[in-house]
Amino acid sequence: MPLTMKEKILIAAEKRVRSAGFSEMSFRDLANDVGIKSASVHYHFPTKPDLGEALVARYAEQFKSELDKIDRNDLHTALESFVALYSNALVLNKSICLCAVMGAEAIGLPENVNQRTKAFFEMNKTWLETLFTRHGVKDASDMASLIVAALEGGMIVASSSNDRSMFEQVAQTAIRSIAAA
Amino acid sequence: MPLTMKEKILIAAEKRVRSAGFSEMSFRDLANDVGIKSASVHYHFPTKPDLGEALVARYAEQFKSELDKIDRNDLHTALESFVALYSNALVLNKSICLCAVMGAEAIGLPENVNQRTKAFFEMNKTWLETLFTRHGVKDASDMASLIVAALEGGMIVASSSNDRSMFEQVAQTAIRSIAAA
DNA sequence: TTTTGCCTACCTAGTGATAGATAGACATCA
DNA sequence: TGATGTCTATCTATCACTAGGTAGGCAAAA
């Protein structure tokens, strides 16, 4: 089955949001991307908040399914895989994690979108906390929060500096700090 | 001496950017805030990138002067003061660090603005690295990068969750991880 | 007298959103 | 079978509004 128009729109929207921000993405651009008119985009997503909510929900869902694939038997390997997921989300000069963008824009965003973003962060923290608890890492909850924050922040710093290595430095240091704990 | 119009505009702009993002801030809003017309704002800052650049430069300068006031003789106290500076920048439901916003929006922002943002992060990292080196913390450079990323990321997570305690959790865990190193 | 700082008035190019129409698919009923 | 009705997905056209930016004028200060 080929992609539905709704899916095509979401794909185009994710690309635009991640590379220019939610407020910079317009229905007209999306319409152009997928080859319909802007009014028709409103048919699929009545309002912009509706689109935003669907977008983050879809992103979180896909991310979750990637997380579920990671083998959690070895702490270090699992952590490296986790970081790799974030690393893949950081394509220099092109895009960063959707939720890093949404998080930074949060204050000016509709509440329903923010709740989805929050859920994304929570999901990541929970996954890490479970991993840490399982491998006897101390302060599992605190460390999980630290790692998520560091990775999201690392992306932002790297993005504004246009220097991917800044993210890698943060990521590796974060992993090491877990090993030390 | 009272505030010049230029300063008044910068103050209004900072408020708006930190609470809604750079792209959401308009010359009309600023003009309204300070009681002049939007055309007159263009007199002081010809283009929006010009304003953005001045804004980040001013923010970094003020932040720097706060950093300089911190007593660096005791590692823990200095770190707490450092974190407090970030904490002050996070006023829930109102604003986060200017450079966290700018960093997240980086991809869609003019290059001159990004360079200023980069400089802000560099300044913070350098300050921390100096502190760490002085107190014999291992991997001073890596740890400095980690702390800055964690604090910026922590702000974003806390902001989208509208839960200040998330930032505090990240900040305290970050400090503890330094003590452990 | 020139510069400074602001004004009015305007432009072009967008924005999200809505109304109303239409073509085609499909199902139900006479 | 053929007619009727309804749903889906799209269209055109337009709304009211906001964006950044510009031209030209005017008054006061240097």
How many angstroms is C1' of C7 away from CA of B29? Answer: 17
pLDDT given for residue A179 in this prediction: 84
The residue among A95, A107, A116, A108 whose CA lies nearest residue A162 is: A95
A150 and B CB contact within 8 Å:
yes
**B28: Cβ under 7 Å from strand C?**
no
Query: Helices A164-180 and B164-180, interaxial angle, to 10°?
Result: 70
**B40: Cβ under 7 Å from strand C?**
yes
B59 contact partners, CB below 8 Å, separation of at least 6 = B14, B98, B99, B120
Per-residue pLDDT tens digits for A19-64: 888 888 999 889 988 889 888 999 999 899 999 999 999 999 999 9
Q: What is the C-alpha radius of gyration for chain B, rounded to an integer number of angstroms?
A: 17
Reported CATH class of domain B56-180: mainly alpha
| pLDDT exceeds 90 at position A105 | no
Secondary structure letter of residue A21 according to DSSP: -
Topology at the third CATH level for domain A5-180: Tetracycline Repressor; domain 2 (1.10.357)
pLDDT given for residue A181 in this prediction: 67
Cα A136 to Cα A122, A140, A179: the distances in Å are 21, 8, 11
Asked whether B155 and B166 are in contact (CB, 8 A), the reply is no
pLDDT given for residue A135 in this prediction: 97
What torsion do the CA atoms of A98, A101, A102, A104 make, to the nearest 10 degrees? 150
How many angstroms is C1' of D1 away from CA of A24? Answer: 55
Asked whether A54 and A10 are in contact (CB, 8 A), the reply is yes
| pLDDT exceeds 60 at position A1 | no
3-state DSSP assignment of residue A164: helix
Contact: A103, B159; criterion CB under 8 Å: yes
A118 and B CB contact within 8 Å:
yes
| pLDDT exceeds 60 at position A164 | yes
A109 contact partners, CB below 8 Å, separation of at least 6 = A22, A52, A102
Nearest to A103 among B20, B160, B180 (CB): B160
| pLDDT exceeds 70 at position A104 | yes
Which ranges of chain B have pLDDT less than 50?
none
pLDDT given for residue A95 in this prediction: 85
User: What's at B14, amino acid-wise?
Assistant: E
A81 contact partners, CB below 8 Å, separation of at least 6 = A70, A71
Asked whether B153 and A151 are in contact (CB, 8 A), the reply is yes
Nucleotides of C under 7 A from a protein CB: 5-10, 14-20
